[in-house]
Structure 1
């Protein structure tokens, strides 16, 4: 049996449904923990019926009274904080948390049941952060901008080796029993009271769990990133990712930091498969603005696209 958690609101219901459907197509004996805020009853009904059709179970957890008035940065939604509460939401020994912009391509059971003794969680390096660290980028911290390495050195006390272990929070295989034993949930919540984080949830989890994380292969959280981010990665990092980027190998979990529904013209890795699965959900007729209408007039090209079909291109 596997526990899998997601957190989302009405703006991400269609994409969460696609993530859930991708899990259902390849996995059995799953219990979903669906943490939500500002979600329509119709969304709850659609997703519940989809899960029931596969004979799997689910729990809806209303998070509307949690994490109010906290800094969310560019993300605009407090749903990013929801995984911090999973040690008290789920009473089992472990749970897999996935962002609602992820896509599962196969059987998760071997990955889910890996040895986590002594670790709070398993996660994958954040290659966007590694790219930024390499080029000494600056990041926004409240109303200021700061050097990224200074941010980690001065506010976290990290050295360069510590920074290279920074992980992405869009996929977290959580050892809940270990986290409860060491009061990790309480530590994370407290850290939000006394720290200003540039990437609120992700920095918080990295800050508290840094010395107790099992860093695993990128196939378990292959992040679809900007070309500029890719260009700054070193050759060793690119070598780990290139087969997935070119669709020569299939990662087990794909994480769309670039959204296929916002960038349909880009043919992102595995986006055709993603869109095919979306069509098998109750949201097959859901389109965001970029999918309905795209027009560009510039020296780099001119085109008009409607519902992902090119009307003209020059």
Structure 2
């Protein structure tokens, strides 16, 4: 597949350092020699101009950064009725929902990465994956592998669409999106409609909304492209050779002092920015 790899990230001021760490890991390990990447940066309104400029400069080191401005209405949406979820995420998590509508039509696919992931190997194979007519590619969520797990998707009508309680449920931390198909399926509108309709009982708001909107039209990616079982790297040192993206899903993050010391945390910390313009939010 010719042309650059397109990678999108979103962040509020508090997540700037972790977003830069994700970008650095992709630049260091995910882009093959001679490869090109276009960064699609989606900053929240609380990110000052000077901080955004520093993130853009970071992107310019390896790639072509483009800034997407997201409508402010997304920053007013409710996050989750679950305290443990609403305390860990921000409204920037919603920004991925608008990627099909905000990115120019000339871009036909996009790799979305959460800001708590670390790339550990070449992403070319993932980028070139044949989506076989699906709207997107994603990995099954190991913590909630089916639609009916973890109390089920709030407000899901089993008589509408193809989803049942036994359907696979994907994690939205790593997404390979076919943008034209997402536009045709009105992914953005359908996802946001779900969030607004179920605003009083949201669970995993972004993931639930996307699973409902995608309606089982997604390609199951191998877990090595979104590996959430990251603590096994401390036990199986060879496993890191297979995995390409580690996703620090859940409460424990490698930038926290409570995260266990070891090779995994050490590797992540090498990507963490140290300059004041990128760490003031920490």
Same fold at TM > 0.5: yes
Q: Does 20-29 or 124-133 show the bigger shift?
A: 124-133
Contact 2:253–2:259, Cα closer than 8 Å, also in 1:
no
What is the aligned partner in structure 1 of residue 127 from structure 2?
Answer: 112
Q: Could you say which structure has the higher helix fraction?
A: 1
Contact 1:191–1:204, Cα closer than 8 Å, also in 2:
yes
Q: Say if 2:66 is the partner of 1:59.
A: yes
- Structure 1 residues 106-154: Cα deviation after superposition (integer angstroms, max 9, x where no partner): 22122111101310000011111139967xx5xxxxxxxxxx14x56x7
Q: Say if 2:179 is the partner of 1:185.
A: no
Report 1:199-278 matches (<5 A): 199-224=204-229, 242=232, 246-250=236-240, 251-257=243-249, 258-267=252-261, 270-278=264-272
Q: Distance in 2 between matches of 1:206 and 1:244?
A: 32
- Aligned residue pairs, count: 256
Q: Distance in 2 between matches of 1:278 and 1:264?
A: 16
> How far off is 1:243 after superposition?
6.4
Q: Does 195-204 or 92-101 show the bigger shift?
A: 195-204
Q: Distance in 2 between matches of 1:120 and 1:245?
A: 36
- Structure 1 residues 59-82: Cα deviation after superposition (integer angstroms, max 9, x where no partner): 112326131321112145211110
- Structure 1 residues 214-242: Cα deviation after superposition (integer angstroms, max 9, x where no partner): 111111001157x9xxxxxxxxxxxxxx5
Q: Distance in 1 between matches of 2:196 and 2:278?
A: 42
| Structure 2 SS opposite 1:254 | strand
Q: Distance in 2 between matches of 1:269 and 1:246?
A: 11
| Structure 1 SS opposite 2:267 | helix
| Structure 2 SS opposite 1:248 | helix
> How far off is 1:264 after superposition?
4.6
Q: 1:68 aligns with which of 75, 100, 103?
A: 75
Larger radius of gyration between Structure 1 and Structure 2: 1
Q: CA RMSD in A?
A: 2.8
Task: Structure 1: state its 5+ residue gaps.
Answer: 138-147, 228-241, 290-314
Give the TM-score normalised by the residue count of structure 2: 0.81
Q: Distance in 1 between matches of 2:18 and 2:216?
A: 32
> How far off is 1:286 after superposition?
4.1
**Aligned in 2, Cα 1:265/1:286: closer, same or farther, shift over 3 Å?**
same
Contact 2:147–2:165, Cα closer than 8 Å, also in 1:
no
Q: Distance in 2 between matches of 1:115 and 1:50?
A: 30
Q: Could you say which structure has the higher strand fraction?
A: 1
> How far off is 1:155 after superposition?
2.9
Contact 2:146–2:169, Cα closer than 8 Å, also in 1:
no
Q: Distance in 2 between matches of 1:76 and 1:20?
A: 19
Task: Structure 2: state its 5+ residue gaps.
Answer: 81-85
- Higher relative contact order, structure no. (Cα contacts within 8 Å, ≥ 6 residues apart): 2
